Structure 1
Amino acid sequence: MTQDTQNGAELLVRCLETEGVEYVFGLPGEELTDLMMALKASDITFVPVRHEQGAAFMADVYGRLTGETGVCLATLGPGATNLLTGVADAHLDKSPLLAITGQGARERLHKESHQKLDIVGVYESIVKWNAQLDDTDIIPESVRKAFKLAEWEKPGATHLELPEDVAGERVNQSPLEARQNVARAEPNTEALDRAADYLHEASQPLLLAGNGAVRADASERLQAFVQETNIPVVSTYMAKGAISDRNEHSLMTLDSGPDGQAGGAVAESDCVLTVGYDIAEHDPAGWNPEKSKTVLHLDHEPAEVYEHYNPEVELIADVAIGLAQLTDRLDTSWETWCREAHKRVLSSATQKPDDDEPFTVRGTLPSLRDAMNDDDVLISDVGSHKMAIAKHFPAVQPNTCLISNGLASMGIGVPGGVAADLAVDENVVVATGDGGFLMNAAELNTAARLDASFTVLLYNDNEYGLITEEFQEESGDTYGTKLTNPEFVSLAESFDVDAYRPTSWQKLSDILAETVGNDDLTLIEIPLDR
């Protein structure tokens, strides 16, 4: 194809190829005809889904796992609005994503017309950058900008809208080459010295790892910091694996331990160094309720203004570089002051149930950990099971336990499994509840069509269990949370998916050992008693 024979859609696809895009997840529509034909002729694999929300979740999880921008596609109107939840999830979970939506021809956009909405306006609050491609000449710059902003710290979502007449217009342009030449920011020397002084003065310092600690080489630097200083680490849900939970310095997540707050260690700490922490994920009022702790902030962006999170020092820099330079300034090693808390947390996480106990989410996790390799990937949907996984599932490597905890959107599990199977070579397990599963269960069809291989653990309590728990805690009663469900094993089998419903702990362990490492698509329904 020569430049003067291409149309806008073909140029857009050439730009995606230049960015290294391998997959586009989406659902086609009439206004996308030129774009779909351009994708067909390209080296990019288009993955048709059963609902646009599934496409956005796939792009979201693909971006989190690879660090490269996941791309999702939808037509105008309802297609574009159906993408919104997954795009918003990427926005708050800091996952690089590009949403591309179709639009009607420009000649009808000034008036009310069929399926026409101001999608650029709708998306404005949930993306880092957002534009309509209203001229073919701006396509190369716009695509390059969308990828650059999606991937640069902190990552997030971007959006481009393509009117159908622009898609069909002839254009004489070439893609801009992708560049990775933005310098990684180094921290201010004075701020580093001040942070080191605060740490030297602390008797019980603690490191709080956030979402930013699992990206790039930050995890490697974090582990080196901890080994040098003996400072214990507690993680947010989305930072699981930033430091191995087998490490004696790991206290798992903030809510871990018999009584939560990492076995009491958080309350005992006097100085907290946060690394890549987002308050959108975990309210600092929970771990700094009296506003009495010395807080040191290391992140790519300044701290949000909040009375419970008002850092004495803000190190605004690349997280990995900041950790390395801070390590060099610390000339002491603290005693492991929270050894008992570590023991309590670890004991709580590894305790197996008695044979006569009914199924619980927490009880399944030791057998699941046994069945998974250290670098296998667990994706948790949102629900009561998420809380158990966050507190009690030991993660050994970064990005091997994915939890949506920014937007915390139900329905991410099965689409996330599809994306993870394409993104990594390791085994993939999806943990979901009956509520979240049925929100995007149709993507099992997408998984089967792609010959995907992952295991779905479906915890079935016939209700929106987490909401029930919260209602009962606040009011002593519940309303509107009970569900009736289909026969899940038969439903899965209708999608040509192997399905099981174990009746004992031993049978569950045997099924997990057999299925997690095989090449089949499998669903395991675990009935929960309440």
Structure 2
Amino acid sequence: MTKASDLFVQALENEGVEYIFGIPGEENLDFLNSLKDSKIRLILTRHEQGAGFMAATYGRLTGKPGVCLSTLGPGATNLVTPAAYAQLGAMPMLMLTGQKPIKKSKQGRFQILDVVDMMRPLTKYTKQVVSANNIPSIVREAFRISSEERPGAAHIELPEDVAAEMADETVFNVPEVRRPAPDPKAIKEAIQMIEASKMPLILIGAGANRKRTGNALLKLIEKTGIYFFDTQMGKGVVDNRHDQHLGTAALSSNDYLHYAIDKADLIINVGHDVIEKPPFFMEHGGKKVIHINFFSAEVDQVYFPDLDVLGDIAASVWEIMEGVSKQKHWDFSFFKKVDEEVESHISKYFEDDRYPMLPQRIVNEIRKLMPSDGIVSLDNGVYKIWFARNYKCYEPNTLLLDNALATMGAGLPAALAAKLIHPNKKVIAVCGDGGFMMNSQELETAVREKLHVVVIILNDNAYGMIKWKQEGMGFDNFGLDYTNPDFVKYAESYGAYGHRIESDKDFSITLQKCLNTEGVHVIDCPVDYSLNHAILNVKIKEKAEAL
């Protein structure tokens, strides 16, 4: 016989769990005691939301569900945003929550919410354990469903009395999963559509962010000469320095890249789906689209592809690459002109010396100082657009951003998870002052765990993204300005190193020092967003005609 909480930990070990991020409560104490002697490391956080973002990021970077822990009631409700973050972002994650005894309780309804039902619309799987003997099957099922395409969030509730029971079950074997191969007829039709088109273009989305897929795509691109672009969450699948890379769709329309998208007669969509913000809008009678993904296209007003190629994405791309032939009637001369125009446009302010600094200059300086495998984790704000447009990714998963839920507060916790997974890589979190303050308490977690991370706060004393939208809609500036603490002193109060940027030249010197000095570093960097509208207000039709 085995205690239920011990069996639960054994089931997690059996799934290969390395870390559990979270905050235990009194309803988790049996589980916590069982975890004490386990090889799984508990990463104690300062807020359940931070724990959830860390677990989701673990899933994003490894492909295996990251695990987070909370107690019942308010601890569980604090996991709601990370659940949505993982679910929309296709990040495998398992949330474990406690609960009061379900068979006999002396506390009435105190702190009790129906957490399982609360999690239902936010997860792929949610279950309460009502018997200790069910633990192995429930854990195996949660990991299976969370990991299957499209990956997402799962949740298990372990009541306090069940955790203390005895069980006579053992854990299940974890089988190797083989993804389904694409249908040969769909591959043949895709090849025919590509060869018949005149100006095909490849789109790389979040679902393609896997090494095997990147290798297959590179071979397809180099064999055919077809140009490609990526979404914000697909950056780096193929090296952005490639001559045929046209840029990243930071906006859904009216950007320089859309010259090329508008001219293309076929989009080969590899790994993008409608949950990720659309990189372009389809129109009836317009360009054709081939949807290559693990699952069929979800039809939307802006997305209704002509062909679905379903199955393992890497296998689909590889088979298309092997079968397609380069066509004499393909004409990529316009794409080449667009590429030159995009490069000229995005680099225009790279060396601008004004202070406070323009986001383009900040992006350029970070790119120059980060190694090819260095990881930049973004929070959510207007600067995300500048990183998407201007930051070239040389490898997959080296720019972590959220363009599915687009939540604030995830940038710092995601960076900490990235550093735990990749201790030898340089890791930077770039946060707006608003997003940073939402989970800034995780600085203490970083210091306690002795992580070497750099946190750059882009400080404009406002919710800058919303101010930008407010201005664009012609509204008066209202309700979005605030004051900040002294970020240098704030960082030092946690035992981190605080730095304040006083000039444009100071930024690169400070960042280089921080990247090469162990410890947690917080850089307070004033930012100037005043040119956002002027730079992004592109007259596409006139520019395209000029090309």
For normalisation by structure 1, the TM-score amounts to 0.95
Residues 274, 300 of structure 2: 8 Å contact kept? no
Show CA shifts across 1:262-282 (max 9, x none). Answer: 162111111101111121112
Residues 257, 344 of structure 1: 8 Å contact kept? no
| One-letter identity of the residue aligned with 1:464 | Y
Tell me, what secondary structure is at the counterpart of 1:186?
coil
Give the whole-Å Cα distance in 2 for the aligned partners of 1:72 and 1:261: 41
Aligned residue in 1 for 2:364? 366
Over 3 Å counting, the alpha-carbon distance change for 1:112 and 1:350 in structure 2 is farther
| One-letter identity of the residue aligned with 1:385 | Y
Aligned residue in 2 for 1:478? 477
Q: 395, 412, 415: which one pairs with 2:413?
A: 415
User: In the TM superposition, what is the alpha-carbon distance from 1:356 to its structure 2 partner?
Assistant: 3.8
Tell me, what secondary structure is at the counterpart of 1:475?
coil
Give the whole-Å Cα distance in 2 for the aligned partners of 1:101 and 1:164: 10
User: In the TM superposition, what is the alpha-carbon distance from 1:252 to its structure 2 partner?
Assistant: 2.2
Aligned residue in 2 for 1:117? 113
Aligned residue in 2 for 1:200? 195
Give the whole-Å Cα distance in 2 for the aligned partners of 1:509 and 1:130: 47
Show CA shifts across 1:492-514 (max 9, x none). Answer: 11111111112222211111222
The equivalences for 1:480-519 within 5 A come to: 480-519=479-518
Aligned residue in 1 for 2:32? 36
Give the whole-Å Cα distance in 1 for the aligned partners of 2:261 and 2:183: 28
Aligned residue in 1 for 2:99? 103
Aligned residue in 2 for 1:240? 235
| One-letter identity of the residue aligned with 2:357 | F
Residues 415, 428 of structure 2: 8 Å contact kept? yes
Q: 299, 302, 306: which one pairs with 1:308?
A: 302
Tell me, what secondary structure is at the counterpart of 1:314?
strand
Residues 256, 392 of structure 1: 8 Å contact kept? no
Deviates more, 1:367-376 or 1:299-308: 299-308
Over 3 Å counting, the alpha-carbon distance change for 1:99 and 1:258 in structure 2 is closer
Alignment of 1:177 with 2:173, yes or no, is yes
Residues 257, 348 of structure 1: 8 Å contact kept? no
User: In the TM superposition, what is the alpha-carbon distance from 1:314 to its structure 2 partner?
Assistant: 0.5
Tell me, what secondary structure is at the counterpart of 1:358?
coil
| One-letter identity of the residue aligned with 1:144 | R
Show CA shifts across 1:383-402 (max 9, x none). Answer: 11111111111111111111
Residues 355, 503 of structure 2: 8 Å contact kept? no
Residues 251, 385 of structure 2: 8 Å contact kept? no
Show CA shifts across 1:114-172 (max 9, x none). Answer: 11111010000111111111111111111111111212222111110001111000111
| One-letter identity of the residue aligned with 1:19 | E
Tell me, what secondary structure is at the counterpart of 2:155?
strand
Q: 4, 25, 31: which one pairs with 1:8?
A: 4
Aligned residue in 1 for 2:17? 21
Deviates more, 1:336-345 or 1:163-172: 336-345
Residues 211, 237 of structure 2: 8 Å contact kept? no
Deviates more, 1:292-301 or 1:302-311: 302-311
User: In the TM superposition, what is the alpha-carbon distance from 1:108 to its structure 2 partner?
Assistant: 5.3
User: In the TM superposition, what is the alpha-carbon distance from 1:478 to its structure 2 partner?
Assistant: 3.3
| One-letter identity of the residue aligned with 1:52 | E
| One-letter identity of the residue aligned with 1:90 | A
Aligned residue in 2 for 1:394? 392
Aligned residue in 2 for 1:340? 337
- Identical-pair percentage: 35
Alignment of 1:355 with 2:353, yes or no, is yes
Over 3 Å counting, the alpha-carbon distance change for 1:191 and 1:257 in structure 2 is closer
Tell me, what secondary structure is at the counterpart of 1:154?
coil
Residues 235, 393 of structure 2: 8 Å contact kept? yes
Alignment of 1:292 with 2:291, yes or no, is no
Give the whole-Å Cα distance in 2 for the aligned partners of 1:108 and 1:262: 62
Over 3 Å counting, the alpha-carbon distance change for 1:256 and 1:370 in structure 2 is farther
For normalisation by structure 2, the TM-score amounts to 0.92
Q: 189, 213, 218: which one pairs with 1:223?
A: 218
Show CA shifts across 1:472-525 (max 9, x none). Answer: 111332332111111111101111111111222221111122222432211111
Over 3 Å counting, the alpha-carbon distance change for 1:216 and 1:245 in structure 2 is closer
Give the whole-Å Cα distance in 2 for the aligned partners of 1:473 and 1:119: 40
Aligned residue in 2 for 1:325? 319
How many residue pairs match? The answer is: 524
Q: 66, 74, 77: which one pairs with 1:78?
A: 74
| One-letter identity of the residue aligned with 1:347 | S
RMSD: 1.9
Aligned residue in 1 for 2:247? 252
Residues 499, 524 of structure 1: 8 Å contact kept? yes
Give the whole-Å Cα distance in 2 for the aligned partners of 1:255 and 1:443: 29
